[in-house]
Amino acid sequence: MNETFQRSEKKYLLSMDQYETILHLLERYIQPDHYHHSDLRSIYYDTDRYELIRRSIEKPLYKEKLRIRSYGNLKEDDLVYVEFKKKYDGIVYKRRTKTPYGQALKDIYGSDFLDSQVGNEIRYALQHYDPLSPKIYIGTSRSSFIGKENEKLRITFDTDIRYRMKNLSLEKKLEDKLLTDQIVMELKIPEAMPLWLSSILDEVHAYPRGFSKVGTAFLKEIKGE
């Protein structure tokens, strides 16, 4: 499977009160996505010096990341999504395919990608980071919505965001740590933001801010939090 995405993405950190108010105000404009509730689990790959994550924390004009993702428990031969994301000047470009879960954990470069072209592009793009290996697990409960008038508008809410940097797999573990008690709202916008959405965000005093789950997890870990 070959999937390519190009869109603007904006993140917001919400309190519970803001979250509940926004959901109420959005009711007339959005509807649940086909996969409305998901148990999202991801593993991010990096070098032993955490070059990709450190660069992301610096908020550069250009950054990239590689991760595998699932929506529940897996066996070794089950397929996971492999996602290579590049972000330049606020625009996200994502290439995605699938590969067996067990292969991805052991050797992402040697994996049998379902779409070989995307796999080759991933290998080529990241060859100067070789070797990459699993470094951080992020898990969250996600609610997804799409616009009633424009289904390309997507809004997601992540709650109960947890992480770990040891014993890495796509399974939940007792040692998982809470990343934040706030809700992360993400807007995926293919075009200009609708006026009704801007008005709602202004009403609840929600403003975009750079927030990286994997970057925040890394900083918390090195600070011993």
The span from the CA of 152 to the CA of 71, in Å, is 21
The string of DSSP letters for 142-168 reads: EEEEEESS-TT-EEEEEEEEEEESSS-
Q: What is the mean pLDDT of each run of 10 residues along the chain (225 residues)?
A: 64 96 96 92 95 87 90 89 86 89 91 90 81 94 95 95 95 94 92 91 93 93 81
The span from the CA of 43 to the CA of 168, in Å, is 8
User: Tell me, what's the pLDDT at 145?
Assistant: 97
3-state secondary structure 54-122: HHHHCCCCEEEEEEEEECCCCCCCCEEEEEEEEEECCEEEEEEEEEEHHHHHHCCCCCCCCCHHHHHHH
The span from the CA of 10 to the CA of 78, in Å, is 32
Among the listed residues 99, 104, 95, the one whose alpha carbon sits nearest the alpha carbon of residue 122: 95
3-state SS, residue 185: strand
Among the listed residues 224, 222, 225, 181, the one whose alpha carbon sits nearest the alpha carbon of residue 53: 222
> How do residues 79-136 score in pLDDT, each as one tens digit?
999 999 888 877 788 889 999 999 999 988 889 999 988 888 888 877 888 788 999 9
For 30, the token pair is: 């959005």
The span from the CA of 61 to the CA of 56, in Å, is 10
The span from the CA of 109 to the CA of 91, in Å, is 26
Q: Are 144 and 38 in contact (CB under 8 A)?
A: yes
The span from the CA of 8 to the CA of 40, in Å, is 21
Q: What is the pTM of this model?
A: 0.90
Residue type at 125? A
User: Tell me, what's the pLDDT at 130?
Assistant: 75
Range of the domain at 122: 3-222
Q: What is the largest CA-CA distance in the chain?
A: 50
∠ CA 38-33-25, nearest 5°, is 105
User: Tell me, what's the pLDDT at 4?
Assistant: 55
Residue type at 117? Q
What CATH number is attached to the domain comprising 176? 3.20.100.30
Domain count, the chain: 1
Residue 51 has what DSSP assignment? H
For 197, the token pair is: 């959405």
